[in-house]
Amino acid sequence: MTLCIVDPAVRFTLASESVEANDSRTLRESIRRLVATAREFVEINRVYCDRGFYRVPLVETFVELDLEFAVRAPQTVGVKRALDAHDASRFVTDYELVRKNPPTGRVPVTLVVVPHRTRDDDSFCLVTNCAVSKDAAEPLTEAYRRRWGIETSYRKIGEFLPRTSSPRFAVRLFEFLFAVAMYNPWILVCLFLAEQREFADRPAVSTALFRLFVLSVPDGSRQMWG
């Protein structure tokens, strides 16, 4: 699990947590640790989460931590019922996340629905605890869409991963964290050199060039990338 700073131009990976199980209790503890780490360095305005966080216990954790959140909502039976109850393609309505299996639970939220950007006759749905009106639905979903750049950042982090065939989890975890430690300063370098870049749609320094620069620094790890 990673926590990233979402900016219109860049994505910083601020913290990472190794999650050994997918149960809600483990995930709640990981969320608390990640948020505690983030609050040491930045002020959190809002958290944007993918649909994997669409669970009553996890949303309860955001509420307990006094966080504004926006979570992608899958089209569950309850969400589909709300969609069927509204003729408009864009609407905001009161909603509840419900967990029927023990331990049961309910969390009141706001369901935000706008037309899907690429699929006709489909909807893009979020649940949030933000005070949001129908007019603010589109700006909120646009803000959420900025988090999709995180997927691009993962691809870039992958370009810093050392070559290995080790099946050991500890080794692979170290490699990922090492790659993140390389990715963040690369982002900073690109920001500092942004005005000098030749093409506006490309980073000022490629990951390959940045790797060569790092390898030129004598630190005893020249063979990391082969």
Residue 79's pLDDT is what?
Answer: 94
**Among 36-45, 99-108, 198-207, which is the least confidently predicted range?**
198-207
Confidence of residue 219 (pLDDT cuts 50, 70, 90): low
Distance of alpha carbon 139 from alpha carbon 72, whole angstroms: 15
- The β-bridge partners of 70 are 48, 128
Residue 39's pLDDT is what?
Answer: 93
Pairing verdict, β 47-49 and 11-16? unpaired
Distance of alpha carbon 187 from alpha carbon 182, whole angstroms: 9
Residue 127's pLDDT is what?
Answer: 97
Residue 95's pLDDT is what?
Answer: 96
Residue 35's pLDDT is what?
Answer: 95
Residue 151's pLDDT is what?
Answer: 75
Classify the C-alpha dihedral 154-156-158-161 as positive or negative: negative
**Average pLDDT of span 10-22:** 81
The residue among 167 and 63 whose pLDDT is bigger is: 63
Residue 145's pLDDT is what?
Answer: 86
Whole-angstrom distance between the N-terminal and C-terminal Cα of the chain?
28
Average pLDDT in the chain: 87
Confidence of residue 171 (pLDDT cuts 50, 70, 90): confident
SS3 at position 43: coil
Confidence of residue 170 (pLDDT cuts 50, 70, 90): confident
Is the pLDDT at 68 greater than 90? The verdict is yes
The residue among 50 and 166 whose pLDDT is bigger is: 50
Contact 19, 26 (CB under 8 A): yes
**Average pLDDT of span 182-196:** 87
Contact 33, 17 (CB under 8 A): yes
- The β-bridge partners of 29 are none
Burial class (CB in 10 A: 0-12, 13-18, 19+), 215: middle
Residue 8's pLDDT is what?
Answer: 66
Contact 189, 199 (CB under 8 A): no
